[in-house]
Structure 1
Amino acid sequence: MDTRSRLVRALDTPVLFCRHANRLYHRRLGLRRCNEAGTDPFEADWDTLVVLDACRYDMFERRSTLPGDLERRQSRASTTVEFLRANVDGRNLRDTVYVTANPQLHQHRESIRAEFADIVEVWSGDGWSDEHGTVLPETVTAAALRANEEYPNKRLVVHYMQPHYPFVGADADFDGGDFTDPEATEENVWVQLLQGRVDVDREAVWELYDANLDRALPHVERLLRDLDGKTVVTADHGNMVGERSFPIPFREWGHPRGIYTPELVDVPWLVYEDGPRRTVDASAPAAADGSLDDDVVADRLRDLGYAE
């Protein structure tokens, strides 16, 4: 989206000016590009890093029964792209394979340079569920276990799409439209809520959001049980569900970039150890595959609720 389009959109939605003002506050007028108080996950000790997209600490604490020791940490980011820029860009990660359901690294491959041993793009091809407009968690787990067999001497990052929108298998039709259907509107669910274009109680949104995490957790547990070594379960960022932002206290929805409220940056950090640790090497990375159709990538991102 170009500058003119952003301005027109902001004029149509004045609350976006408030959001921008809050962003200037959190980013210190542009003097910092990320939440500097956050944890650098790639500096931590693990064999497998599980990333649950848009999973708040408080919801994980309420819903998860995964084994391990849980603590609260801060992410360096409030969006996936910001998470990748803050933690991956320019980094030598030849000891790591990235298994991802999120197309954002591919979408921003020209500006986010990461040297992984391999990138398994689960969202491309058969990994994508047209029915649900996302990648299902069982698909990600299967891809991660295959990657572990193929790369027994690499660390794994396994990026699940849930609990991020769309809400898998939900059946909810609120006044203003069915925002469980990624094809029902060009605006993502959180923009509709921000603009007041759907009439829905916050608790109803929370039920959908919680259920999306519940949908993923059994498949994450399978991954923990089937992989040896030290596994950390965390999130790239959180999500606001109608809480007051700051310093301008309007009701915020979704996960806007550059805003570091607790709801957006407080994430789980669950450590689970089982079996022998992995012996890791950092041999040359696999050749990049640039053959994916840009239109396909754009369609995937739109289904996942990312605004252009």
Structure 2
Amino acid sequence: MGLTTRIRRNPRLLLKGIRDVPAAFAELNRLYHTKRSGPEYNRDGIDVFAEDWDNLIILDACRFDYFDESTVFDGPVERRVSRGSTSREFITGNFGNRKLHDVVYVSGNRWFLELREFLNAEIHAYRDVERDFRVDRLDDSKSDVGYVPYPETVLESAIEAAEEFPDKRLIIHLMQPHKPYLGPKSDLFTYDGGLRSTMAASGDVDIDTLRQAYRDTLEITLDRVESALDSLDGRTVITADHGELLGERLRPIPVRWYGHKEGVYVPELVDVPWQVVKEGPRREISADPPEQMPDVDEETVEDTLRALGYVP
């Protein structure tokens, strides 16, 4: 549906755009990109299941350029294009309408659970990882709105899954370097779930501080991954579901943006790393009927997505 038609059907959109000009310009950018690619996901992105791996470690909101500068692993870092500028698009574009009975998915990101009724997708098993720490919000300071797992928590669950399912491909979806940040600058930030979700509790955080907090979080996460690799056999690859805007400008309308905007396929959001970090003895992979999906309360899933800024 075009922007003109949407405004005609809902005039309040125009008022909203006048009140929040950056958001209105961001929406115009989204319409530009999705008109070229389609509304569901970025069709120029790769199919991760067509690639060669036994373990696929997915970093959430990890840009190619920051990863390339920060990786602790030997070997080339390839640039790939993701099917999404958000996790929802990545999940939709890679899992939708597929039977992946040779895949076990260990995740700190709950979008697969949120979308499972609409994906028409089957995997052999899913392991949901419990939350670890509180996320605060600007509009409700110091209140519990959801939890996000530390990287080591997800990796510990993944190691258990690797032992439980030695003949399956393993996806390990970490939540970092997505906000909330880790490291020495993490206490500067609180989160409102919207455009300005990278503001300090007392005043704006400057862009250099924001970018350093993001880099610190990525480096901490890569250190945890390196410590876990000995427990994962087979060919292990690190990639990301999408990137992150850290004060850069969208295109074609150059409005400054933070975080990730659905349907906007600029390099900062869809250029992701692809690095083979371990070549071990290959596993013999087999497909088996799916286990029953875990019974996770919908409110719990929404709380997690709300804490990350996806649900208002």
Letter in 2 for 1:181: T
Offset at 1:298? 1.9
Decide which moves more: 154-163 or 107-116: 107-116
Contact 1:10–1:17 under 8 Å retained in 2: yes
The one of 18, 36, 41 aligned to 1:34: 41
Corresponding position: 1:130 with 2:133: yes
Alignment of 1:1-308 (within 5 A): 7=13, 10-28=17-35, 31=38, 33-122=40-129, 127-131=130-134, 133-171=147-185, 180-182=189-191, 187-188=192-193, 190-192=195-197, 198-290=203-295, 292-308=296-312
* CA pair 190-67 structure 1, distance change in 2 beyond 3 A: farther
Matches of 1:109 and 1:149 in 2, distance apart? Answer: 25
Matches of 1:116 and 1:52 in 2, distance apart? Answer: 20
* CA pair 214-193 structure 1, distance change in 2 beyond 3 A: closer
Letter in 1 for 2:27: H
* CA pair 193-18 structure 1, distance change in 2 beyond 3 A: farther
* CA pair 170-304 structure 1, distance change in 2 beyond 3 A: farther
Give the match's secondary structure for 1:111: helix
Q: Tell me the alpha carbon deviations over residues 6-62 of structure 1, each in whole angstroms, 9 at most, x when there is no partner.
A: 937545322211111111111126745322221111110110111000000000011
Matches of 1:270 and 1:139 in 2, distance apart? Answer: 22
Give the match's secondary structure for 1:225: helix
Matches of 2:36 and 2:81 in 1, distance apart? Answer: 21
Give the match's secondary structure for 1:27: helix
Matches of 1:281 and 1:55 in 2, distance apart? Answer: 30
Offset at 1:275? 2.3
* CA pair 266-278 structure 1, distance change in 2 beyond 3 A: same
Q: Tell me the alpha carbon deviations over residues 121-161 of structure 1, each in whole angstroms, 9 at most, x when there is no partner.
A: 11xxxx21134631000001100000000000000000000
Contact 2:29–2:251 under 8 Å retained in 1: yes
% same residue: 41
* CA pair 5-63 structure 1, distance change in 2 beyond 3 A: farther
Contact 1:70–1:270 under 8 Å retained in 2: yes
**Which residues of structure 1 form unaligned runs of 5+?**
none
TM-score, normalised to structure 1's length? 0.87
Give the match's secondary structure for 2:284: coil
Matches of 2:50 and 2:118 in 1, distance apart? Answer: 22
Letter in 1 for 2:166: P
Contact 2:29–2:252 under 8 Å retained in 1: yes
Decide which moves more: 157-166 or 60-69: 60-69
Aligned length: 290
